[in-house]
């Protein structure tokens, strides 16, 4: 059994020279070492562009009965760029349905994931950043009887519990001069360093175990 990950930059695998940026799909195999993972996630992709570039077709070629397909999009679906923008309640859920149907066609198990949270604090409160996409994912999971791992909800709980200052280190907030890939430093509360990737990977791993899929 192989677990295939279809997602964007928050789940992607990065080369060592890109450190410290780390996607959760890059580290989940360390948390679940007895499970085989195939990470197809790539930066900048939405549900629309992942499909239009033929990336799901490539995943489909590898699918075997009993495999699991993790489906996590939304960050780039809200883009203004026409080649990746989707409407949360129409084209977005239609695209996710294609992933679900493709997995089931090959005897694999689709699992929908809400997207990773952004770390946006205002006046001491973590801001909700889901827009209409997370609710749309949750509704589709119920309508299509698809297992759901609510990474957004669990991730926001964890970030709130850590607090504004401590949670800064989860994300790509680095000082200048520490890493060759970021000579000027970075202020990025969407993409994760290893600690953040491990947090979201554990949420996914726990979700898979609670669903009885591994």
Per-residue pLDDT of the chain (214 residues; tens, 9 = 90+): 999 999 999 999 999 999 999 999 999 999 999 999 999 999 999 999 999 999 999 999 999 999 999 999 999 999 999 999 999 999 999 999 999 999 999 999 999 999 999 998 888 888 877 789 999 999 999 999 999 999 999 999 999 999 999 999 999 999 999 999 999 999 999 999 999 999 999 999 999 999 999 9
- The token pair at 172 is 């790509």
Measured in degrees and rounded to the nearest 5, phi and psi for residue 199 equal -60, -50
Which residues 6+ apart lie within 8 Å of 141 measured at CB? Answer: 112, 147, 148
Q: What is the pLDDT of residue 121?
A: 86
Task: Return the beta strands (E) in 1-51 as ranges.
Answer: 2-6, 36-39
Sign of CA dihedral 203, 204, 210, 214: negative
- Asked if CATH classification 2.60.15.10 holds for the domain at 2-210, the reply, yes or no, is no
Give SS3 for 36: strand
Identify the pLDDT of residue 122. Answer: 87
For the chain, the structural domain boundaries read 2-210
- CA-CA distance, 47 to 7, in Å (whole number)? 8
- Written as six digits, the tokens of 167 are 């949670």
How far lies 118's CA from each of 74, 100, 128, 151, in Å? 12, 26, 8, 11
pLDDT at position 128 is: 75
């Amino acid at each position: 059994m192989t677990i295939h990950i279809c997602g964007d930059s928050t789940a992607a695998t990065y080369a060592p020279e890109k450190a410290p940026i780390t996607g959760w799909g890059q580290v989940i195999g360390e948390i679940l070492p007895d499970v085989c993972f195939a990470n197809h996630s790539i930066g900048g992709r939405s549900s629309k562009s992942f499909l239009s570039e033929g990336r799901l077709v490539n995943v489909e070629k590898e699918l075997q009965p009993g495999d699991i397909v993790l489906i996590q999009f939304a960050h780039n679906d809200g883009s203004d760029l026409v080649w990746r923008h989707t409407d949360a309640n129409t084209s977005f859920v239609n695209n996710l349905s294609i992933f679900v149907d493709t997995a089931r066609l090959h005897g694999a198990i689709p699992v929908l994931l809400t997207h990773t949270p952004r770390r946006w604090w205002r006046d001491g409160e973590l801001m909700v950043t889901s827009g209409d996409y997370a609710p749309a994912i949750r509704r589709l999971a119920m309508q299509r009887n698809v297992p759901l791992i609510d990474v957004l909800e669990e991730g926001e709980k964890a970030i709130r519990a850590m607090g504004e200052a401590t949670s800064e280190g989860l994300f790509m907030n680095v000082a200048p001069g520490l890493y060759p890939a970021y000579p000027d430093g970075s202020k990025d509360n969407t993409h994760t360093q290893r600690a953040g990737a491990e947090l979201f990977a554990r949420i996914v791993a726990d979700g898979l175990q609670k669903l009885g899929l591994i």
